[in-house]
Amino acid sequence: MKSNIVFSICLFNLLLVFCRPLSATLLSPIENVPLSDKLNALNKNEQSPLMTDSISFSTSDSIAPYFFADEEIGVQYDLLKAALDSKNIAIKEIVHAPNLRAQRLVRTHKIDCMINTPDNVAGLFYTQSLIEYKNSAFYLSKNNLNIEKISDLNTLSVLGFQNSKQYLGNKFKDIANGNPHFSEITNQKSQVVMLFNGYVQVIVLERRIFEYYRYLLASKLDTSVAVTEVSLFEPAQRKIACHDKITAEEIDSAITSLKQSNRYQDILELAEKNYYQPQTKTPSQ
Q: Is the predicted pLDDT of residue 142 greater than 90, yes or no? A: yes
pLDDT band with cut points at 50, 70 and 90 for residue 34:
very low
State the Cα–Cα distance between residues 240 and 256, nearest whole angstrom: 13
CATH no. for 135-230: 3.40.190.10
Burial label, 209 (beta-carbon count in 10 A; 0-12, 13-18, 19+): buried
Read out DSSP for 234-275?
A: PPEEEEEEESSHHHHHHHHHHHHHHHTSHHHHHHHHHHHTTT
Q: Is the predicted pLDDT of residue 106 greater than 60, yes or no? A: yes
Domain borders along the chain are: 54-133+238-272, 135-230
Torsion of CA 60, 61, 62, 63, to 10 degrees: 40
3 state DSSP class of 47: coil
User: pLDDT tens across 112-138, in order?
Assistant: 999 999 888 999 999 999 999 999 999
Q: Is the predicted pLDDT of residue 23 greater than 80, yes or no? A: no
State the Cα–Cα distance between residues 159 and 6, nearest whole angstrom: 101
> Taking residues 255-276, what's their average pLDDT?
93
User: Which is nearest to 209 in space by CA: 246, 169, 164, 252?
Assistant: 164
Pairing of strands 236-242, 202-206: unpaired
DSSP summary character for residue 233: S
From start to end of the chain, where are the E strands? 54-59, 90-96, 113-115, 125-133, 135-140, 158-161, 182-185, 202-206, 227-230, 236-242
pTM of the shown model: 0.73
Quote the CATH superfamily of domain 54-133+238-272.
Periplasmic binding protein-like II (3.40.190.10)
Lowest mean pLDDT among 47-51, 138-142, 180-184, 274-278: 47-51
State the Cα–Cα distance between residues 16 and 11, nearest whole angstrom: 9
User: pLDDT tens across 189-223, in order?
Assistant: 999 999 999 999 999 999 999 999 999 999 999 99
Q: Do domains 54-133+238-272 and 135-230 have the same CATH topology?
A: yes
Say which amino acid occupies 54: S
> Taking residues 39-63, what's their average pLDDT?
63
State the Cα–Cα distance between residues 239 and 116, nearest whole angstrom: 5
> Taking residues 53-61, what's their average pLDDT?
93
Lowest mean pLDDT among 6-10, 134-138, 265-269: 6-10
